[in-house]
Amino acid sequence: MSPSSRRPGATTLAALALGLLSLLVAVSATSYAAGLAKNSVGTPQLKNGAVTTLKVRDGAVTGAKVKDRSIGRSDLAPGVVPRTTVVRRSLAVGESAEPARSGGLTFEAFCNASGAEGIVSTLRVVATSPTAPLNPVSGTYLVVRADQGFPVTTSPSGAATGFSQVDLIGFTPAAGTGRTTLVGSLQYADELPVTTDLATSAIGGAERRCDVAAVVTPTA
């Protein structure tokens, strides 16, 4: 029998079959991947635990991709605390500003005239939440109000006192200064508590302006 007429052995046939099967699988996988529409693989198609830390590219998750106020106190690792916000600014009559946001709280400032020379300076603390109803803000703090021409008043508040909005008001009916301060700790819902040192001053007479100071520090 000539060499060209020999039948292939079993080993050769098995190798050939395996090669054809591998080629078929490769072609099928390529065809399947090529047949996926753009952006057709979303969250429902991903198996739980499929995306791990090692599979997320460095820098892929930025602040812009994190929903506002979606990270609460329990989500932060020990020792990870946002930085202190320090704001000091003056407002002319009719001006307003938002000096700071921290711990689920927004701090707003307003400056308004009162009579010919008087000024009303307002620093508002508001609980801000993506859902309703708002839970009250709790804390321990001291409010001191010293309006021009009026006795100084002191209002300590304990942890049981809550609010969703509070206005600190400084007032002077004419030339002079009225000033109100709030010093203490505030906490809204699951947000980090913040230590606050707030002051709003009304300067009347020829100057006619409002001075606002806010030092807000999130604490672990």
In a domain, 131, yes or no: yes
CB of 199 within 8 A of CB of 179? yes
Q: Quote the pLDDT of residue 105.
A: 86
Contacts of 123 (CB under 8 A, 6+ apart): 107, 108, 109, 167, 168, 180, 182, 198, 199, 200, 212, 214
Query: 89 lies in a domain?
Result: yes
6 token code pair: 């020999």
**Residue in 119, 101, 98 with CA at minimum distance from that of residue 109:** 98
**Residue at 158 is within a domain:** yes
- pLDDT tens digits, 4-63: 455 555 566 556 555 555 654 554 544 444 556 666 676 776 777 667 777 677 767 776
For 200, the domain range is 73-218
Asked, for residue 208, whether it belongs to a domain, the answer is: yes
Q: Is residue 31 situated within a structural domain?
A: no
E strand or H helix at 71, and its extent?
A: none
Please tell me the total count of domains within the chain.
Answer: 1
| Residue type (1 letter), 49 | G
The answer to the question of residue 2 being in a domain is no
Q: How many residues does the chain have?
A: 220
Question: Is 30 inside a domain boundary?
Answer: no
pLDDT in tens, 195-208: 999 999 999 999 89
